[in-house]
């Protein structure tokens, strides 16, 4: 087991453990900060898939944008949340049980599908050109954005404009109040 | 080289954790975090398969687009959550049960 595998499986375990804690912890502020740990270790795994630009984008967008937005929304909507959490925790045990059942069933299904697929020996995987460790993927991404994937790029930019206008419209103050 | 199936197993586990959060949480922000986990599991699969796609670069490009879409979705969803809190004084999805009029 070399150092690459040790680091990868360490961060994989960190991802899954912190995601599990995000879902199960009682304190919501801690859960949002643990979400940052999950996102960061996911970015480390993107690096191991030789996608360094995606990893940097992940860290910048999620930590700079999403995490701050979530904390902001959480602080604005928190007044009786923590007191309401205690007394409601007893009456939804049966729902938790069914949710757990569905998720475990889905995971077992996915696990059996992945382990029986034998992905390494599929013909199109064998015929593909893998990215080498010395390839300049950022250069390639820049060229692809302006040539092959120009239409999705433009669609995404229009979509971002729509989301900006929509969020500003939703969050504006009413005229009367 | 990490084998491809290990990436897929991690993303499957992350997807199931996100699905559990969506199904059982009683706080709209935690449901949103669950949706983010599911999107990130999909992005991890995109990136893991994009390693095999040197010529077209489809996996990495669409991982970028998916990250952008997820961020835009979070912004709009949080605006909706704030409006819902202003109107209902709670963000428990089980108690928000009336439409306009």
Q: What is the CATH number of the domain that holds B14?
A: 1.10.287.3510
Report the gap between the CA of B97 and the closest CA in chain A (Å): 17
* pLDDT over threshold 80, residue B90: no
Report yes or no on B98 lying in a domain: no
* Nearest residue, CB atoms, B81 vs list A50, A73, A107: A73
Burial code (b: 16+ CB inside 10 Å, e: under 16) for A13-42 equals ebbbebbbbbbebeebeebbbbbbbbbbbb
Report yes or no on B55 lying in a domain: yes
Which residues form the domain of B9? 4-88
Count other Cβ atoms within 10 Å, centred on residue B52.
18
Report yes or no on B95 lying in a domain: no
Report yes or no on B26 lying in a domain: yes
Q: Using CA atoms, how far apart are residues A73 and A174, in angstroms rounded to an integer?
A: 18
Q: Work out whether the CA dihedral B8, B10, B14, B17 comes out positive or negative.
A: positive
Report yes or no on B20 lying in a domain: yes
Looking at beta carbons, which residues of chain A come within 8 Å of B29?
A: 28, 32, 70, 73-74, 77
* Residue A177 or B96, more confident: B96
Q: Using CA atoms, how far apart are residues A55 and A138, in angstroms rounded to an integer?
A: 11
Best residue in B13, B42, B91, B96 to probe A by mutation, most A CBs within 10 Å?
B13
Q: pLDDT per residue over B21-72, tens digit each?
A: 999 888 888 899 999 999 999 999 999 998 888 888 888 999 999 999 999 9
Report yes or no on B99 lying in a domain: no
pLDDT in tens, chain A (177 residues): 788 899 999 999 999 999 999 988 877 888 888 999 999 999 999 999 888 899 999 999 988 888 888 888 777 776 555 545 554 555 556 778 888 899 999 999 999 998 888 777 788 777 787 787 778 888 889 999 999 999 999 999 999 999 989 888 887 776 655
Q: Is A75 on the interface with B (CB under 8 A)?
A: no
Looking at beta carbons, which residues of chain A come within 8 Å of B17?
A: 16, 19-20, 23, 103
Report yes or no on B100 lying in a domain: no
Count other Cβ atoms within 10 Å, centred on residue A103.
22
pLDDT category at B101 given cuts 50, 70, 90 is low
Q: Is A8 on the interface with B (CB under 8 A)?
A: yes
* Nearest residue, CB atoms, A46 vs list B47, B62, B68: B47
Closest CA to B63 of A158, A52, A65: A52
Q: Which two tokens stand for residue B91?
A: 């963000």
Number of domains in chain B: 1
- The three state secondary structure string of A112-174 is HHHHHHCHHHCHHHHHCCCCCCCCCHHHHHHHHHHCCCHHHHHHHHHHHHHHHHHHHHHHCCC
Report yes or no on B64 lying in a domain: yes
């Amino acid at each position: 087991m070399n150092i690459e595998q040790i680091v990868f499986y360490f961060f994989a375990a960190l991802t899954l453990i912190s995601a599990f804690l995000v879902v199960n912890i009682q304190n919501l502020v801690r859960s949002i900060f643990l979400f940052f740990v999950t996102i960061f270790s996911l970015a480390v795994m993107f690096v191991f898939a030789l996608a360094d630009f995606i990893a940097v984008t992940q860290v910048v967008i999620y930590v700079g944008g999403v995490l701050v937005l979530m904390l902001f929304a959480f602080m604005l909507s928190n007044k009786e949340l923590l007191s309401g959490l205690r007394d409601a925790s007893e009456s939804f045990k049966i729902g938790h049980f069914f949710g757990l059942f569905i998720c475990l069933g889905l995971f077992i299904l996915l696990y059996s599908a992945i382990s029986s697929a034998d992905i390494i020996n599929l013909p199109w995987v064998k015929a593909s050109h893998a990215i080498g460790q010395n390839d300049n993927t950022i250069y390639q991404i820049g060229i692809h954005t302006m040539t092959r994937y120009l239409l999705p790029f433009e669609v995404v930019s229009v979509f971002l404009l729509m989301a900006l206008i929509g969020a500003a419209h939703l969050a504006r103050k009413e005229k009367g109040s | 080289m990490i084998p491809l199936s290990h990436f897929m197993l991690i993303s499957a586990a992350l997807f199931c954790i996100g699905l559990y959060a969506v199904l059982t949480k009683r706080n709209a922000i935690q449901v949103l975090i669950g949706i983010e986990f599911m999107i990130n599991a999909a992005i991890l699969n995109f990136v893991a398969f994009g390693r095999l796609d040197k010529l077209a670069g489809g996996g990495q490009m669409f991982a970028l687009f998916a990250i952008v879409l997820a961020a835009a979705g979070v912004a709009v969803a949080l605006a909706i959550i704030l409006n819902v809190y202003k109107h209902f004084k709670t963000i428990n999805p089980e108690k928000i049960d009336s439409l306009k009029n």
